[in-house]
Chain A
Amino acid sequence: MLPFEVLEHTADVGLKAHGHTLKEAFENAATGMFSLITDLENIKPSTSQEISVEAEDRESMLVEWLNELLYRFEVEYTVFKRFEIVEWDEEHHMRAVAYGEPLDLGRHQIKTQIKACTYHMLKIEHNEDWSAQVIFDV
């Protein structure tokens, strides 16, 4: 099982993240999103931030989770590579720790500017494993 796949979309770009649990798929979606922004191997997980998300359902929680990370990236100039969800009620609340380091444009070449995570084609599926699909506005 790949942690995530990148989806093609004419104007934008999407992700389909996988996990044995939905929680894991959420963590992988975040990793996938930062892999679109910059090369993960150049990020040292030297600092961490705590992130809480409240939502109406699990789909919107996925969007809120990724948008919150984009917000931290932009306002705090921090790039992340590893994510651990520590509280999880699946539908309405989650709390996570994101590990990364301050953005250093010398080392972290920006590959894609992601403006936001959209609700378009938003899909969470459960077969044997879980998958979480999102489209970003870039």
Chain B
Amino acid sequence: MFDALERVSEYVWRIPVGYKKGMRVPGIIYASEELLLRAHEDKAVEQVANVAFLPGIIKASYAMPDIHWGYGFPIGGVAATDIETGVISPGGVGFDINCGVRLLKTEFFAKDVMDKVDALMHEIARNVPRGVGSRGKIRVEREELEKVMVEGVDWAIRNGYAWDEDTEFIEENGRLAGADPGAVSDKAFERGRDQLGTLGAGNHFLEIQEVAEIFDQRAANVFDLFEGQLVVMIHSGSRGLGHQICSDYIKVMDKVVRATGIELPDRQLGCAPILSREGRDYYAAMACAVNYAFVNRQVMAHWVRESFERVFVKSAESMGMRLLYDVCHNIAKFEEHFVDDEREKVCVHRKGATRAFGPGNPLTPEKFRHIGQPVLVPGDMGTASYVLIGTEEAMRETFGSTCHGAGRVMSRSEAKRTISGQALKSELEAKGIRILAGSLALLAEEAPGAYKDVSQVVEVCHNTNIAKKVARLRPIGVIKG
């Protein structure tokens, strides 16, 4: 079955350079046999090999255990490129630039406040616009939107949507440097204007969860997580603004590839040298979408805090509604990593992969620096999400990256044929999971059966040490578009 693949260890597989003519480096897949079989069936393995064609790619084209068939890059793909000689690829980031996750803590035990969950869900659902075609509550005209793009969550602080301490607990402190609104098209501005603070649809969600199990007590203590704790997870991205920037630049890169004769096995892998004008413009525009997405999640978190305040008639501060962390899983960034024992600045593409910096990294919040960065892994709504912690091994092996979620196994139309939205809703409710969904058809697409078992994915990360388990979170209330 896996003839072409070399087994490096129980959970690590190598696609040799000779697998496809044109590969510059091998492919490395982190997966159990079962997960690999799935990836093999749906051509994701081919995509790992295709990414290895990118000029300037360093060490290998990596795939995390939640690997599945994407377009161009596989979902779960990680590729680092050399800044001097390498390329940057919008397809290596994806359409939903800075799709990511944040986790808000509370000081409540879930069991003590179960009678308030319905009220909380309705309050949050009333406060946070969601779904396709719904308008946001905030309208930011061009000048203000430019500030959002450049300042990120600092904009949110100035406008009363964030606590001062929030930025400390966001990847890049909620403000990726290098953003230039001049590189963003008018169309992207149009799309971004009334979607700030909106959840969107698809796999995005807002969940009230309970910390169901602690695996690493020491890390949990540092993260202020305890068994039985009520927490809130927000999974969303840069909405139409990011989709438009990606579309705009894939078109630009397509021209560059033709003009320069870069050979690629898939047109969606379009790219440009990092140091070229097109490469720089893409980065500057992508950073705008990254910051927009940080603000998007921040504004929603603010409304979640307000919703708790209304339901409990207490201040969010007194309920301990601090941010554990906010991480991106669709992004390209310049980071320092060890390459051949030397520190080198590289461009890391994470397409459905999460940064997982180990202990001692200066970019990790001071509070956690001695143990490593919190990694948030959203699961599918019926099962679980996880909090993991970054490791030394991830730094050495995967450019500080790990998995980002469960990974799909069933196409959306198949999911809809197999599962009706209504039946699914009843099934989840029978398990004690409350659901508020804008569209039952969209709900069916995201049914747990459509995904790989997130626990299996996390187990592979844990066993290969590209992240360690800290806590498992169980959904109590799910809000979707």
Contacts and interface: CB of A to CB of B under 8 A. Distances in A.
A59 B414 CA distance: 28
Interface string A114-130: 01111111100000000
Contact of B71 (A60, A67, A135): A135
Contacts of A117: 247
B245 to A, nearest CB: 10
A10 B255 CA distance: 29
B379 interface: no
A77 B190 CA distance: 12
A64 interface: yes
Interface string A1-26: 00000101111110000000000000
Contact of B267 (A67, A105, A120): A120
B111 to A, nearest CB: 35
Contacts of A37: 132
B244 to A, nearest CB: 7
A113 B200 contact: yes
Interface string B410-447: 11111000000000000000000000001101100100
A70 to B, nearest CB: 8
B201 A120 contact: no
A111 interface: yes
Contacts of A56: 254-255, 258
Contact of A119 (B42, B270, B414): B270
B13 interface: no
B467 to A, nearest CB: 22
A10 B411 contact: yes
B427 to A, nearest CB: 21
A67 B247 CA distance: 8
Contacts of A12: 70-71, 412
Contacts of A112: 412, 441-442, 445
A60 B251 contact: yes
A111 B202 contact: no
B193 to A, nearest CB: 8
Chain A contact patch, size range = 35 or more
Contact of B134 (A105, A118, A137): A105
Interface in B202-249: 202, 240, 243-244, 246-247
Nearest to B254: A60
Of the listed residues B69, B132, B254, B439, the one surrounded by the most CB atoms of chain A closer than 10 A to its CB is: B132
Contact of A74 (B191, B246, B445): B191
Interface string A56-74: 1001100110010001001
B95 interface: yes
B364 to A, nearest CB: 30
Nearest to B41: A10
B75 interface: yes
Interface of A: 6, 8-13, 37, 56, 59-60, 63-64, 67, 71, 74-75, 77, 103, 105, 108-113, 115-122, 135, 137-138
Given A10-B42, A60-B251, A112-B441, 6 more contacts: A71-B244, A111-B439, A112-B442, A113-B442, A116-B243, A119-B254
10 contacts: A12-B70, A56-B254, A71-B244, A77-B133, A103-B133, A111-B442, A113-B200, A113-B201, A115-B202, A118-B268
Interface of B: 42, 44, 68-72, 75, 91, 94-96, 131-135, 187, 190-191, 200-202, 240, 243-244, 246-247, 250-251, 254-255, 258, 266-268, 270, 408-414, 438-439, 441-442, 445, 481
